Amino acid sequence: MSQATAAPAAAKGDAATKNTLTVTDNRTGKTFEIPIENGTFKALDFRQMKVSADDFGLMSYDPAFMNTASCKSTITFIDGDKGILRYRGYPIEQIAEKSNYLETAYLILNGELPKKAQYDEWVDNITHHTFLHENIKDLMTGFRYDAHPMGMLVSMMGALSTFYPEAKHIHDPLVRQKQIYRLIAKIPTLAAFAYRHSKGLPYVYPDNDLSYSGNFLQMMFKIGGRYEVHPVLERALDVLFILHADHEQNCSTSAMRNVGSSYVDPYSATAAAVGALYGPLHGGANEQVLRMLDVIGTKENVPAFVKDVKTSGGEVKLMGFGHRVYKNYDPRAKIIKLMADQVFEVVGRNPKLEIAIELEKIALSDEYFLKRKLYPNVDFYSGLIYQAMSFPVDMFPVLFAIGRMSGWLAQWQEMVTDKEQKIARPRQVFLGSDERNFVPMGKR
């Protein structure tokens, strides 16, 4: 606990210059001075505010963590009002233009851009951990032909922990590093195998001569030994992985940190993160955008759909719009929109683009969306690109998971090495029954 004291409140003039908060508990009349650090106070400092000696003390109530920081982090900075996103201080626009996914992953994990030798070693290590144990293939065959690849990914991630039992030594930096290589290297292979399973196609093994994204594309789409990686599509996919690499304390990252805080191995924690990402309000949203565009069908139906959204009382949502943090245009959506043109030049225009553009146009001029600060998020256009690149809709969240792997691991490692962290364990406000005696079945 920080040095909160029950000292009398400072005089008005001083208070303006002090980095503290003066709180009067009107139940007792006592006044407390609470330190403010980095624009936050410690919720635990409020515990000293009690109405009686046996009172537990005041707690903060914050469902969905709307205004609670659960960690200190140096990885990703977001200013949602200004539409700013930076990894380790570098603006996302510069990284997307000048970097590649593996270099970005190194930056996110290590805090600095790699020098040439560091980069070469990093890429070499990732490239040489791409293969899966052959028994993983046997596990895959147990799934139904129509199993959702995210469900398969959750299971396979958990299963990997049994192949690398040493991974539970999470306090050993070398062991951690090895799992980081493995997880970043193997997630594209798992993802591609899940897809091939759903198609009944033979698995394609990693090709270590190709780039991270190029290799993934060939594992997905090679048939009869043939697949030419198109450089524009390879780069587009790489940029999409960069844009998804980290996004500070989002739902799946919080799941990774929360589950990881029990000191479980990183494969099990990643399984939880993938599960969180699967949800339609998070990584499943890009899949839902495409399904929504299918339902709308034509550009002419857009106004009627927007009307449905506005009158549904929150039931019908404009998928790919809105964000917990961004109350301005998502900077990632801007980059994706520009990239869509390059991809469509190679593979032809996705007919749904017209509907999406019309939807965006109407939504951005409509009072309902303006008032609620609802702008396109990263998922609004990414699905259109993925589809144009021949990825089936249910693979979209899987692609998100591949990119986010580096962010999950960086955040997990930051949590594991943070001396202020403990096992995550929120409190509750109990509003249930008071103590009562058990009633036998015949007397109920």
Q: Is 146 a catalytic residue?
A: no
- Cα separation of 321 and 370, whole Å? 11
Beta carbon of residue 286, minimum distance to ligand ACO (angstroms, whole number): 8
Which residue in 169, 282, 366, 418 is the catalytic one?
282
Q: Is 323 a catalytic residue?
A: yes
Beta carbon of residue 256, minimum distance to ligand ACO (angstroms, whole number): 14
Judged by CB under 6 A, the chain residues 280 through 299 that form the site for ligand ACO are 281-282, 285
Judged by CB under 6 A, the chain residues 179 through 218 that form the site for ligand ACO are none
- Cα separation of 398 and 400, whole Å? 5
Judged by CB under 6 A, the chain residues 242 through 271 that form the site for ligand ACO are none
**What value, to the nearest 5°, has the Cα angle with vertex 338 and ends 333 and 340?**
90
Nearer to ligand ACO, 212 or 400 (CB): 400
Nearer to ligand ACO, 381 or 412 (CB): 381
Beta carbon of residue 234, minimum distance to ligand ACO (angstroms, whole number): 23
Q: Is 379 a catalytic residue?
A: yes
Nearer to ligand ACO, 146 or 367 (CB): 367
| DSSP secondary structure letter of residue 25 | E
Nearer to ligand ACO, 32 or 305 (CB): 305
How many chain residues touch ligand ACO (CB under 6 A)? Answer: 18
1, 30, 44, 51 from 9: Cα distances, Å = 19, 10, 19, 19
Nearer to ligand ACO, 132 or 336 (CB): 336
398 touches ligand ACO by CB under 6 A: no
Torsion of CA 272, 275, 280, 286, to 10 degrees: 100
Buried b (16+ CB within 10 A) or exposed e, 304-329: ebbeebeeeeeebbbbbbbbebbeee
- Cα separation of 110 and 410, whole Å? 8
Instruction: Select from 12-20, 110-118, 149-157, 314-322 the region that touches ligand ACO (CB under 6 A).
Output: 314-322
360 touches ligand ACO by CB under 6 A: no
Which residue in 265, 330, 379, 394 is the catalytic one?
379
- Cα separation of 113 and 107, whole Å? 5
The residue from 122, 212, 267, 321 that contacts ligand ACO (CB under 6 A) is: 321
* Alpha helices in 56-172, H assignment, sequence order: 92-98, 101-110, 116-127, 134-141, 149-163
- Cα separation of 11 and 4, whole Å? 17
- Cα separation of 131 and 204, whole Å? 11
Instruction: Select from 296-304, 319-327, 336-344, 408-416 the region that touches ligand ACO (CB under 6 A).
Output: 319-327
Judged by CB under 6 A, the chain residues 361 through 390 that form the site for ligand ACO are 372, 374, 377-379
Instruction: Estimate to the nearest angstrom the gap between the alpha carbon of 123 and the chain centroid.
Output: 23
Contact 89, 77 (CB under 8 A): yes
Nearer to ligand ACO, 152 or 333 (CB): 333
322 touches ligand ACO by CB under 6 A: yes
Instruction: Select from 121-129, 170-178, 215-223, 318-326 the region that touches ligand ACO (CB under 6 A).
Output: 318-326
The residue from 319, 333, 336, 395 that contacts ligand ACO (CB under 6 A) is: 319
* Alpha helices in 322-395, H assignment, sequence order: 331-347, 352-363, 367-371, 378-388
Q: In the complex, which residue's CB is closest to ligand ACO?
A: 322
4 touches ligand ACO by CB under 6 A: no
Query: How many Cβ atoms from other residues are within 10 Å of residue 29's Cβ?
Result: 7
DSSP 382-418: HHHHHHHTT--GGGHHHHHHHHHHHHHHHHHHHHHT-
306 touches ligand ACO by CB under 6 A: no
| DSSP secondary structure letter of residue 22 | E
The residue from 323, 395, 408, 414 that contacts ligand ACO (CB under 6 A) is: 323
Nearer to ligand ACO, 245 or 374 (CB): 374
The bridge status of strand 76-79 relative to strand 84-87 is antiparallel
Catalytic residues: 282, 323, 379
Give me the residues that bind ligand ACO (CB under 6 A), please.
281-282, 285, 309, 314, 317-324, 372, 374, 377-379
